[in-house]
């Protein structure tokens, strides 16, 4: 069982790894022997998280704005200067925007699509050479995209570009899985439900009891729930899983599908 979920010795990059879902995944990786690079638009936050996680293992901060091609190029160049191969890429960097439909701005649409979808594709594209160097039939390289249950269900909040972007991430994941399997690179997505994060902080503060009551398991997610899902997909246990969108949501999507 220990060997089945062993990820020690791997090299991973977790984008948006300074907080929230990304930090949960990065901490799980670092604590289990993965040399983990984290990126974030805010250098100070990225450095602080890397410093904290370095107490558990090997964690390196590379601040980058992945909503731009320049930011992607800088991150890829830095990774290539430090590593000859990459075992796991976690595309987690993302943002959200909310506004009434009559007032929703074009800038709010473009910003979310650029970082949540465009950034995922072009970072993966740029890192393919490093992923291919670590890939084998027995132990594929892994791409793990972070979607959302908002890409599977309809959120009643006016986050029009966010839900649409996450649905796009899920379908992009399936396309990547289809096109990269022959190179022994798998692509899967995790669709988180409610987890404590800066993005969810206001919603949990104002609607926390209502949200918990709506979750079949009657709680929000914990860091170990997210880390466990990512470790499964990155380990031998997940080596034959490809093109899957895995809800980690306490049963929200499953319950909604029965209505």
For residue 10, the 8-state DSSP code is -
Q: What is the CA radius of gyration of the chain?
A: 17
Q: 232 near 4, Cβ under 8 Å?
A: no
The answer for residues whose C-beta is within 8 angstroms of residue 80's C-beta and 6 or more apart is: 130
The whole-angstrom separation of Cα 209 and Cα 205 is 9
Q: 220 near 211, Cβ under 8 Å?
A: yes
Q: 125 near 183, Cβ under 8 Å?
A: no
| β 35-39/59-61 pair status | parallel
**Which residues are tagged catalytic?**
162
For 130, the 3-state DSSP assignment is helix
The whole-angstrom separation of Cα 204 and Cα 181 is 39
93 phi, psi to nearest 5 deg: -55, 130
How far CA 155 is from CA of 151, 159, 161, 215, 240, in Å, comes to: 9, 8, 11, 14, 32
Length of the chain counted residue by residue: 259
């Amino acid at each position: 069982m220990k060997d089945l979920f062993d990820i020690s010795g791997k090299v991973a990059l977790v984008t948006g790894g300074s907080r929230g879902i990304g930090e949960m995944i990065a901490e799980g990786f670092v604590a289990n022997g993965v040399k983990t690079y984290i990126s974030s638009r805010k250098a100070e936050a990225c450095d602080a998280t890397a410093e904290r996680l370095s107490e558990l293992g090997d964690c390196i901060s590379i601040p980058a704005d992945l909503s731009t091609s320049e930011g992607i190029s800088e991150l890829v160049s830095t990774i290539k200067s430090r590593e000859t191969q990459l075992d796991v890429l976690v595309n987690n960097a993302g943002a959200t925007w909310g506004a009434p439909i009559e007032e929703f701005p074009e800038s709010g649409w473009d910003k979310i699509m650029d970082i949540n979808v465009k950034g995922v594709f072009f970072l993966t594209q740029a890192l393919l050479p490093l992923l291919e160097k670590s890939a084998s039939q027995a132990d594929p390289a892994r791409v793990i995209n972070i979607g959302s249950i908002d890409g599977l269900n309809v959120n009643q909040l006016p986050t029009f570009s966010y839900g649409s972007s996450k649905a796009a991430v899920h379908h992009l994941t399936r396309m990547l899985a289809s096109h990269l399997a022959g190179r022994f690179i798998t692509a899967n997505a995790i669709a988180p439900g409610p987890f404590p994060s800066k993005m969810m902080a206001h919603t949990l503060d104002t609607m926390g009891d209502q949200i918990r009551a709506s979750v079949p398991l009657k709680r929000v997610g914990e860091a170990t729930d997210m880390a466990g899902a990512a470790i499964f997909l990155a380990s031998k246990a997940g080596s034959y899983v490809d093109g899957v969108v895995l809800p980690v949501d306490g049963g929200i999507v499953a319950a909604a599908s029965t209505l």
